[in-house]
């Protein structure tokens, strides 16, 4: 049995390059040539390693979701206050509105808007990503309730869903050109739900 030629590129680096293209442009607007150029691959290497555009996209969604969930979890672990952690995430979105760079939003939520439920594989990856984000905020809310900084006036699960849906909405506002003050005002209303 032939082993074949060894890979002459790092698949993780290529995957990250593709992720950036999909995140910036979306699935439909990204051509195969865009991907090949960004990844520095020939068509044969691309198909041999990643299968096709759809398979690559699903791998990118998985990587993005896992990476963001890990970053959120690490941020929560470092934070001395669960409520301050949530506030920092919400207010960071307002800071994105100040950036000179074109806002990209969240790849998972962008994909949910682009695909809806039209593709089962993509929908499954989106659900997994949203669940991962929600689980971090659920852990933060439970920690905040235990510490007495978040009042248990609502079920923790409902608050976690509320935060995730508002983060998605705030990121959409930023992409639509909302000014930082408007985004910050909305973020403060979301935070008030924790009092």
Lowest mean pLDDT among 7-16, 23-32, 133-142: 7-16
> What is the distance in angstroms between the CA of the first residue and the CA of the last residue of the chain?
65
pLDDT band at 1 (very low <50, low <70, confident <90, very high): very low
Average pLDDT score, the chain: 92
**Which residue carries 């009042």 as its tokens?**
151
Q: What is the pLDDT of residue 157?
A: 97
136-140: average pLDDT: 98
Residue 96 placed within a domain? yes
Note down the domain range covering 94: 61-192
DSSP H helices in 40-106: 43-50, 53-78, 82-98
Lowest mean pLDDT among 64-78, 83-97, 126-140: 83-97
Residue 81 placed within a domain? yes
Report the domain count for the chain: 1
Residue 97 placed within a domain? yes
Q: What is the pLDDT of residue 131?
A: 97
Q: What is the pLDDT of residue 9?
A: 78
Residue 121 placed within a domain? yes
Q: What is the pLDDT of residue 100?
A: 66
Q: What is the pLDDT of residue 45?
A: 92
Q: Is the pLDDT of residue 3 over 70?
A: no
pLDDT band at 36 (very low <50, low <70, confident <90, very high): very high
Residue 40 placed within a domain? no
Residue 42 placed within a domain? no
Identify the CATH number of the domain in which residue 65 sits: 1.10.357.10
128-155: average pLDDT: 95
Q: What is the pLDDT of residue 4?
A: 46
Q: Is the pLDDT of residue 2 over 60?
A: no
Residue 117 placed within a domain? yes
Q: What is the pLDDT of residue 136?
A: 98
Residue 141 placed within a domain? yes
The token duo for 45 is 């290497």
Long-range pairs of 80-83 with CB within 8 A, sequence gap ≥ 24: 81/144, 81/147, 81/149, 82/140, 82/141, 82/143, 82/144, 82/147, 82/149, 82/150, 83/144, 83/149, 83/150, 83/191, 83/194
> CA-CA distances (angstroms) from residue 127 to 24, 106, 116, 132, 164?
21, 14, 11, 9, 12
């Amino acid at each position: 049995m032939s082993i074949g030629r060894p890979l002459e590129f790092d698949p993780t680096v290529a995957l990250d390059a593709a992720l950036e293209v999909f995140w910036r442009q979306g699935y439909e607007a990204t051509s195969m040539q865009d991907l090949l150029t960004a990844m520095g691959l020939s068509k044969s290497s691309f198909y041999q390693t990643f299968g096709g555009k759809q398979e690559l996209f699903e791998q990118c969604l998985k990587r993005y979701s896992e990476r963001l969930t890990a970053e959120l979890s690490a941020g929560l672990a470092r934070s001395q206050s669960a409520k301050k952690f949530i506030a920092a995430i919400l207010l960071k979105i307002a800071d994105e509105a100040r950036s000179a760079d074109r806002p990209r939003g969240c790849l998972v939520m962008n994909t949910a808007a682009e695909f809806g439920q039209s593709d089962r594989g993509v929908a499954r990856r989106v659900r997994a990503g949203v669940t991962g984000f929600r689980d971090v905020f659920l852990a933060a809310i439970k920690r905040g309730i235990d510490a007495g900084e978040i009042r248990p006036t609502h079920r923790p699960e409902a608050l976690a869903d509320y935060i995730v849906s508002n983060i998605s909405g705030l990121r959409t506002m930023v992409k639509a050109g909302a000014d930082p003050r408007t985004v910050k005002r909305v973020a403060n209303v979301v935070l008030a739900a924790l009092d």
